Copies of this chain bind each other. A is one copy, B any other.
């Protein structure tokens, strides 16, 4: 059985769970290397003392594997009943990502004590193995490469959409895998919206360019933001503050500290210049197979930092109707400090 699945079984017995139901695409990939997008059709891995069962619609082909028995069903069958027939006890962990529709059907069909096992799974996935760390490094290397290759395109007159499309082409050429999320390209005022969707805005004199983007390497994600400058006193001022907040937060990372302490370092620094209210989001998020996964680097997160964690550090200042700056790296937690996975410069760069 895979190491990950073994750890999961140990966690189940500690939590006295009779059964555990894993349904999320990424969790299935992580625990049993199943790569099936089953849409609205149920897919589930049931783990209990009788064995592991993978329920999947016969429209899809699951890899044979000694780790589980495959139970195929067709569109005329009720997969919830098939699943219920193989449950062994009354204390059932379910994947937090499962849909309420399936869960409520199972609850009706098999009354028991149901618990979200998202936390159990998160506690396994958040520490990256050596193999995963290597993939995270390579993904960020590719991301650095694309960021440096986009710079020549950032010329007055180009549109956000054109930069966006060029980014997709560069990623395709370098990584041969889908991007980890739709790149954000925001010019000038548009950068005041942290989630801006690239449109036909044209790059003008004085506009900064914010680019937030990420790639995949063998399924593992990268994610980085840089903001490129033109002469604009306000934006240049906040740039230095955000850069320093990023560096201070990264330097503060250490096993044993809490994630919220790291958020505080960046937030306090930004607040000391009076911009606290314009740093409207958490400092960072966990990353791995998913671009956002546990744990957040936020004011509310008491999770203790440990070696092998991987997360983003992305302070930002967003000034409505003026513009915004965000600078984001991925970091990997080492024995006593953070290893920053992005080597792309954070010094002011003018286009």
A residues near B (Cβ < 8 Å) are 39-40, 58-60, 75-76, 94-101, 103-105, 114-116, 118, 194-195, 280-282, 292, 296, 298-300
Contacts and interface: CB of A to CB of B under 8 A. Distances in A.
Contacts of A282: 75
A283 B40 CA distance: 16
A280 B61 CA distance: 12
Given A39-B292, A75-B299, A299-B75, A59 B98 contact: no
Given A39-B292, A59-B281, A105 B116 contact: yes
Given A195-B60, A281-B59, A101 B97 contact: yes
Contacts of A96: 99-101, 104
Output the residue of A99, A118, A281 with the most chain B CB within 10 A: A99
A43 B135 CA distance: 33
Given A97-B99, A97-B100, A101-B116, 11 more contacts: A58-B280, A59-B194, A59-B280, A75-B281, A75-B282, A75-B296, A94-B104, A96-B100, A98-B100, A99-B99, A99-B100
Contacts of A59: 194-195, 280-281
Copies of this chain, tallied across the complex? 2
A75 B298 contact: yes
Contacts of A300: 75-76
Interface of chain A: mostly helix, strand, loop or mixed: loop
Q: List 3 A-B pairs, minimum CB-CB distance, nearest first.
A: A96-B101, A98-B100, A76-B300
A94 to B, nearest CB: 5
Contacts of A104: 94, 96, 103, 114-116
B76 A299 contact: yes
A220 B98 CA distance: 26
A176 B312 CA distance: 33
Contacts of A116: 100-101, 104-105
A100 B105 contact: no
Contacts of A292: 39-40
A105 B99 CA distance: 14
Contacts of A100: 94-100, 103, 116
Contacts of A58: 280
A59 B116 CA distance: 26
A118 B100 CA distance: 10
Residue from A60, A114, A116 whose CB has the most chain B CB atoms within 10 Å: A116
